[in-house]
């Protein structure tokens, strides 16, 4: 079944090449959901850079979480034959839009700017459709972080863990000292985030790729997955009764206030510590999650580019070029809490957690440890992701055995393919 209505291609085709030639100033309408203070300020820099080159930026911001509302609007616009010039879309969904034949080819910009040399291959491959660049990556978020309050660990006589055995030992000590070991947000996407971290930490890189990238039923229903699930469920006894339904930022606040020892969350959590005036490696520690020091689970924001009227092609390609320029990469990622997707950027302007992430991003791009996040829509198609998340959440919040959950994972993925 096609991603959009079959009429989409015909409707969009009507708008392509009926206007005057490209080359002069043009306009780009940009759909995104970066509406918070830091994000909006960062996007404004891209707008200014584009306008400095004589083009016009038409902002099309759709507020709302991870972009579900924006995707609904985008699909409606596309079916009506009136998509924006650029839209914030990521992961395998890029391929679904490519299947519709509505994306523009950015190979000329990519070749001139040497994108294939600046961006790791595993990232570049996601941005391409049938070998051609159709999307531009903006940033990199690392998922496999563990945010720790060192004062809590000190009071409990515990050390920040690097293995899952050390993790459980630290949890017992923190709990015995009267504090909450793990700040937990009981929402499906948050549970899936911790689950995939454990898949990497317990199963290793190759197993992660088989289970959560290839969605191999044999890997999903395996002794290794059973061990992963048991480790995942083990954490529950070290959370508090208020965890179900808790937003991620409220869990982060528990660590900031010293109510809890640690939280597993992507690097957007750093923004909460920064806003609270906390200093890295003093007031908090950003540690790589147990067993994942050789891995970098990534979530990447990107823009797909739709075919536009000829008079706006130059503006659209200017936007694509500017996104990967050093100036925008630095300013945007400092504001967002993420790191540049462009390799070789100076580390000086970034804080300690970002510098560690930049180092590990570069190293894992060479070793194969750079792996896409399933929970954050980078690894598998939406139907498969949904099937995995349903089983994971049901397992965590029920008495289902790890063995039965592993079997259900395999069956759910088979049905979703």
* Phi and psi at residue 340, to the nearest 5°: -65, 145
CATH class of segment(s) 148-297+373-416: alpha beta
pTM, whole model, 2 decimals?
Answer: 0.91
The DSSP element (H or E) to which 141 belongs, if any, is strand 139-142
Segments making up each domain of the chain, as ranges: 7-141+299-367, 148-297+373-416
Going by C-beta distance under 8 Å and a sequence separation of 6 or more, which residues neighbour residue 181? 170, 171, 172, 174, 175, 238, 239, 260, 261, 262
**pLDDT at residue 187, as a whole number:** 95
CATH of domain 7-141+299-367: 3.40.190.10
Decide if 7-141+299-367 and 148-297+373-416 have a common fold: yes
Q: What is the pLDDT along the chain (417 residues), one digit of tens a residue?
A: 455 554 344 343 434 333 333 457 899 999 998 887 778 888 899 999 999 999 999 999 887 656 778 889 999 999 899 999 999 999 999 999 999 999 999 999 999 999 999 999 999 999 999 999 999 999 999 999 999 999 999 999 999 999 999 999 999 999 999 999 999 999 999 999 999 999 999 999 999 999 999 999 999 999 999 999 999 999 999 999 999 999 999 999 999 999 999 999 999 999 899 989 999 999 999 999 999 999 999 999 999 999 999 999 999 999 999 999 999 999 989 888 899 999 999 999 999 999 999 999 999 999 999 999 999 999 999 999 999 999 999 999 999 999 999 999 999 999 999
Which tokens sit at 328? 């925008």
Specify whether the CB–CB gap between 386 and 213 falls below 8 A. no
């Amino acid at each position: 079944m096609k991603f959009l209505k079959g009429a989409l291609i015909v409707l969009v085709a009507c708008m392509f090449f009926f206007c005057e030639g490209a080359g002069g100033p043009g306009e780009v309408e940009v759909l995104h959901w970066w509406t918070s203070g830091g994000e909006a300020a960062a996007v404004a820099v891209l707008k200014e850079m584009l306008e400095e080159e004589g083009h016009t930026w038409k902002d099309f911001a759709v507020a709302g979480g991870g972009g579900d509302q924006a995707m609904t609007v985008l699909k409606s616009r596309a079916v009506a034959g009136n998509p924006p010039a650029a839209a914030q879309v990521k992961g395998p969904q890029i391929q679904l839009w490519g299947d519709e034949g509505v994306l523009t080819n950015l190979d000329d910009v990519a070749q001139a700017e040497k994108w294939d040399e600046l961006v790791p291959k595993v990232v570049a491959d996601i941005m391409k459709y049938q070998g051609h660049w159709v999307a531009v990556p903006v940033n990199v978020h690392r998922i496999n972080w563990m945010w720790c309050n060192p004062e809590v660990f000190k009071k409990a006589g515990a050390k920040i863990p690097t293995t899952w055995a050390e993790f459980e030992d630290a949890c017992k000590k923190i709990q015995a000292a009267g504090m909450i070991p793990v700040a937990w947000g009981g929402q499906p996407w948050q549970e899936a985030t911790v689950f995939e971290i454990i898949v990497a930490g317990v199963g290793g890189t190759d197993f992660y790729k088989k289970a959560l990238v290839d969605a191999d039923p044999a890997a999903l229903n395996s002794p290794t997955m059973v061990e992963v699930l048991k480790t995942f469920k083990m954490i529950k006894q070290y959370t508090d009764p208020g965890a179900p339904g808790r937003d991620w930022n409220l869990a982060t606040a528990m660590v900031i206030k010293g109510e809890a020892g640690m939280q597993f969350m992507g690097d957007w959590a750093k923004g909460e510590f920064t806003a609270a005036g906390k200093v890295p490696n003093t007031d908090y520690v950003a540690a790589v999650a147990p067993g994942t020091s050789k891995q970098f689970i990534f979530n990447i924001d990107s823009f797909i580019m739709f075919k536009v009227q000829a008079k706006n092609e130059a503006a659209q390609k200017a936007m694509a070029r500017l996104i990967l320029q050093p100036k925008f990469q630095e300013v945007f990622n400092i504001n967002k809490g993420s790191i540049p997707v462009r390799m070789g950027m100076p580390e000086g302007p970034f804080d300690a957690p970002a510098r560690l992430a930049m180092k590990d991003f570069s190293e894992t791009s060479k070793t194969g440890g750079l792996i896409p996040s399933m929970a954050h829509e980078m690894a598998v198609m939406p139907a498969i992701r949904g099937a995995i998340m349903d089983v994971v959440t049901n397992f965590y919040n029920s008495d289902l055995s790890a063995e039965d959950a592993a079997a259900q994972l395999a069956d759910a993925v088979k049905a979703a393919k």
